[in-house]
Chain A
């Protein structure tokens, strides 16, 4: 029983990692950038929802809507203002810029909301019996929402016009442009999707873990990044699988070895992947075009 409950916990946190990992992966796929500011989008989404609900007493669904909207605007703005001018520069400049943005947002949040944690009230209180276990509604909602979003996303990427355009742009920008695809818009759209997923992940995370603080995005973002690398960065099913695996590994470590070791295990996985198969589980062993 405890094994099953640890696995379900793992799937719950894993689906949050997966939602965030999708943002890393899609952005990497299209602009070859590891967007280190992505974790901070989660934090912004969490604070936005918290502020609207706890301070302005807005209904939760409106607060969540505005949190998504704010994250989308922020993600796209960062892309246009900070990354786009560097698109043809060395990748290290992009990476450093991303880290800079991340620090900027973290410090801004500390300034605005102070460093001490705030309490986020669970939007889905209560629990239900499931296979002899008592599962919180937050867990069930988290898993259900994530699965639906991931299915919708993969349908969008494989079947819709914009999804095909995203794949075309990630393969060859100049030629995509020749086809009449507005490459800049397509890239912005990718950032928008990633940011929206991060906002939703933020709210789901807060429902189970209740505390928010300015640095919350870094650890969550970092683990999701490990998930994306584990599955194969740039590959959408890879991000999903990676997310679930990291979640389950982490949860099993917490349950059966030690809570203190959980983070070490996650980063241990990153090291192992980088040593054995840097392209990740689904990655082709193809040399990267530079």
Chain B
């Protein structure tokens, strides 16, 4: 579904992502794990066209998207739930969802909104509230709901559990599993490596911009070096 081949990404002279290749197959949950600054967010931003790789190519659903503009990718079924949620704080909950469904027809927006509200009843209760007044967990739900409005085939999530209380973390991971069951392929970036590997099929381990290890999630969970570096020994 998603094939990333030998991409290099620079910020000025900093080579943040070095010759990285990986793939995500339809129906999978794939996770990228790695320490802060390893290059995880940069990879997602490159896939969604927010930044351009200096070299390499990216293929999504069989077509080359390396230089496709960011705003054209939703239509192809790619969603990116960014790090730090980045919902529109000055817009209401409902307006945020409207923006998520920007490319949909207005009748579809209605139907999609209903399904988002069914999944997240809290959001329905707060639909006319300014999004900036939501709690962290609600904001993350809104960020995911907003992405769902685009009917994604592949959803990329960047640290969805960041800054949330443990009970909410469990809830978010539960939602990701459900979305995957319902047919959405998932590319998940997490610092919470244990949780991510628990729900994922496969994982890639990143260190300072390089992939140092890739395996099934099951194997990574018992890998000594992974345990030592990311699972707390």
Contact = CB atoms under 8 A, between A and B. Distances in A.
Given A164-B91, A167-B90, A172-B88, A178 B98 contact: no
Contacts of A161: 98, 102
B71 A171 contact: no
A142 to B, nearest CB: 32
Interface in A166-214: 167-168, 171-172, 174-183
Interface residues of A, number: 17
A245 interface: no
B166 to A, nearest CB: 28
A179 B150 contact: yes
B103 interface: yes
A173 B188 CA distance: 23
A49 interface: no
Given A164-B98, A164-B99, A178 B48 contact: yes
Contact of B99 (A165, A174, A182, A183): A165
B205 to A, nearest CB: 26
A171 B70 CA distance: 17
B169 to A, nearest CB: 23
Find the residue from A164, A165, A181 having the highest chain B CB count within 10 A. Answer: A164
Interface stretch (B14-22, B35-43, B74-82, B212-220): B74-82
A108 to B, nearest CB: 35
A4 B183 CA distance: 68
Interface in B44-82: 48-50, 69-75, 79-80, 82
Interface in B67-119: 69-75, 79-80, 82, 86, 88-91, 95, 98-100, 102-103
Give the size range of B's interface with the partner.
20 to 34
A100 B15 CA distance: 38
Contacts of A171: 88-91
B99 A177 contact: no
Nearest to B95: A164
Nearest to A159: B95
Contacts, number: 61
Contact of A175 (B72, B86, B90, B150): B86
A183 B50 contact: no
A177 B70 contact: yes
B195 to A, nearest CB: 25
B89 A178 contact: no
Contacts of B86: 172, 175
Contact of B50 (A165, A177, A182): A177
Given A161-B98, A164-B98, A172-B86, A178 B91 contact: no
A171 B88 CA distance: 7
Nearest to A178: B80
A126 B40 CA distance: 70
A176 B99 contact: yes
Interface of A: 161, 164-165, 167-168, 171-172, 174-183
Closest 9 CB pairs of A and B: A180-B74, A180-B103, A177-B70, A180-B102, A177-B71, A179-B99, A179-B102, A175-B86, A168-B99
Interface of B: 48-50, 69-75, 79-80, 82, 86, 88-91, 95, 98-100, 102-103, 146, 150
10 contacts: A167-B95, A168-B99, A171-B89, A172-B88, A177-B49, A177-B70, A178-B71, A178-B80, A179-B71, A179-B102
